Structure 1
Amino acid sequence: MRKMNEYSRRDFIKKSSAAGLAAVTLPNMDFINSLEINEKFQIGATFILWGYGLDNLEPALKEMKQLGYHCFETFGWTIQEMEDKGIRLEEMIAKHNIPIRSAFCMTDVLDPSPSKRKEELAKLTSWAKLLKRAGGTLVEYCPASIDRKGFDYKEHKKTMVESMNDYAKAVTDLGLTCALHPHTGTPIETEEEVYFIMENVDTTYMKFGPDAGQLEKGGADPVKIFRDFMPLIEHVHLKDYEGGDNGYLGYAPLGEGHVKIKKLLKMLERGRDKMVGDIMFELDYDNKIKPAYSTFEAAKISRDYLKDLGYSFS
């Protein structure tokens, strides 16, 4: 696996500066650890814990609001489904008084044909426009899922980078931020794949939206990745991971797994003055195995863990 050595660090800094991140430097951890936290980020929640369909969205918003989460994230295709059924997301947001911050959106990055790229771009653009209309600010972008058996990103790197550059520019041109979300079961899962893509995409348009639990599950080191790409982080999925068949696909309520949540939060609070997105609590839902907690209990355990760390909830 390629290490991010001093040469590649210099390349990354140079590229980031050329992309408009003037005078950016990768943070020195001794320096970060010496700083005081001036203000903590607000915490939102993704609705995946409550399920994957449109019918799950309103129950999720009710419990999120009850627990004091500041905002939420849903899927781009869920927003589109609402629109196609004549349901305005803005009305649901007003009803439950919890704003939307982001939408998780997936498109193909492996098919090199112009027709496929055009089709995927149109889909993503539609989702982004609906998100913006509802008050959202960020697309949490993820390449579409694939069969990873025998997959080698080196065989697809040109198409992957070119397609993601096109997608990210389209989102940015709409006035939103596009943040790359590495995910298990997609073309960007391993640490090597994360570093390759983030060192080669155009960071003028593609920012970073890491998921701590996904990185851990994919065999990567979340602390290292957060540290190395800190200047580009605009959104975070805060997820814990314990492994096993537990009804959460191996993930866990915050504080019940082995992801270094406290360290990651400390790094974010000291390494980022602000982000376009937020820190989003997330816990995946497995509809094949009954978990130990109800959705409300799991979200409450995670909220209480964060409250103990000094985070406030509305």
Structure 2
Amino acid sequence: MRQEWSNVLAQNKSEQLSIPFSICTTGLKSAKIEDIAAEAKRLGLQGVEIWGGHIEEYLNRGGELNELRAILNYNELHVPALSEYSYFTKSKEAYQADLASLRRAAEWANVLGCPRIRTFAGHVSSREANNEHWKMAAAGLREALEDCRSQGVALAVEIHNNTLADRADSLNKLLLDCHDTSLLEFIYDGFNLFVDHIDPIPILEQFYPYINHVHFKDYHWNHENWGKSKPVPILQGDAGHTAILDALLAFEYKGYISFEYFGDEVICLTEKSLEELTEYMEKR
């Protein structure tokens, strides 16, 4: 039977838990990374989860990684993850490009003091995947893990709909296929499970030992027409983030929660979400 997180929290009410928050720069692709860093500090965040494209753009402007790290330090920000759009399964050519981008990201992470690289596992859902998809994804993850190991960083597969990491049995298969999972993590995103009509709490419970980074976003969601869905602050959406937060607090989660909004309201939604979560945790 599932543990009642509210009861656990009540028993531990005297113990104050603290979770650091960051923003995913994937939702701000047209902005410069130094401007995002300044905005993150203004919002009171502790980190920025940086899209690889932002680093590439910064370097192309003549910047250097050590200078970027100095900018982040000035704004008192950590980098809990670097986010790459790698899948391994689209084609043989894309497979090699994915590995190259992850290898480069691991080198960047080493310089920036970042502990993990975000990747996807496949570009189709586990229900639609064929044997070749699974074979390519497993081989890509194993190779990428070796590259990450050489730089002292972890490889984190995001739990995401329409990928091979979309449900409990597929997550278990990925773990088995990777063999050595000492540096393999999962990035937990309950919303990505909710849109597939999967209860996010059992996944969090089952795979928590592999979860060291979390994404938060939420919507008033239209399952019949996704395009009509509306992004809202985190505790006002349909995916049940109050229960997710309660579970994380009950586990005494110490990793980052990264706000991952997209569209025109990224900063506003991040600010309001941070306010809601801070108030909620102060009252518990």
Residue 211 of structure 1 aligns with an amino acid whose one-letter code is D
Shift of 1:156: 2.0
Distance 2:168 2:2 in 1: 20
Q: Which runs of 5+ in 2 are unaligned?
A: none
Residue 174 of structure 1 aligns with an amino acid whose one-letter code is Q
Q: Which runs of 5+ in 1 are unaligned?
A: 1-26, 286-290
Q: Find out whether 1:29 has 2:9 as its counterpart.
A: no
2:235 maps to 255
Structure 2 residue corresponding to 1:269, chosen from 246, 249, 255:
249
Residue 160 of structure 1 aligns with an amino acid whose one-letter code is A
Shift of 1:200: 4.0
Greater CA drift, 170-179 or 136-145: 136-145
Residue 130 of structure 1 aligns with an amino acid whose one-letter code is W
Residue 120 of structure 2 aligns with an amino acid whose one-letter code is C
Scaled by the length of structure 1, the TM-score of the pair is 0.73
Equivalences for residues 1-314 of structure 1 within 5 A: 29=3, 33-34=7-8, 36=12, 37-49=15-27, 51-53=28-30, 55-88=31-64, 89-110=68-89, 113=92, 117-143=95-121, 145=123, 151-189=128-166, 193-198=170-175, 200-202=177-179, 203-244=181-222, 250-272=230-252, 274-275=254-255, 278-285=256-263, 294-310=265-281
Report if the CA contact (8 A) 1:165-1:205 is conserved: no
Structure 2 residue matching 1:236: 3-state secondary structure: strand
Shift of 1:252: 2.7
Shift of 1:58: 3.6
Give the total of aligned pairs: 273
Structure 1 residue matching 2:209: 3-state secondary structure: helix
Shift of 1:234: 0.9
Distance 2:254 2:278 in 1: 20
Distance 1:152 1:213 in 2: 22
Sort the Cα spacing of 1:30 and 1:256 in 2 relative to 1 into closer, same or farther, 3 A: closer
Sort the Cα spacing of 1:229 and 1:32 in 2 relative to 1 into closer, same or farther, 3 A: farther
Sort the Cα spacing of 1:241 and 1:197 in 2 relative to 1 into closer, same or farther, 3 A: farther
Residue 87 of structure 1 aligns with an amino acid whose one-letter code is G
User: RMSD of the alignment, in Å?
Assistant: 3.3
Structure 1 residue matching 2:236: 3-state secondary structure: coil
**1:125-174 Cα shifts (integer Å, max 9, x gaps):** 1112112212212212224646x7x9425552222222212212321331
Shift of 1:72: 1.0
Distance 2:267 2:94 in 1: 40
More helix by share: 2
Distance 1:282 1:120 in 2: 22
The percent identity for this pair of structures is 19
Residue 65 of structure 1 aligns with an amino acid whose one-letter code is K
Report if the CA contact (8 A) 1:40-1:311 is conserved: no
Structure 1 residue matching 2:192: 3-state secondary structure: helix
Quick one: higher RCO (CA 8 Å, sep 6+), 1 or 2?
1
Structure 2 residue matching 1:310: 3-state secondary structure: helix
Greater CA drift, 179-188 or 295-304: 179-188
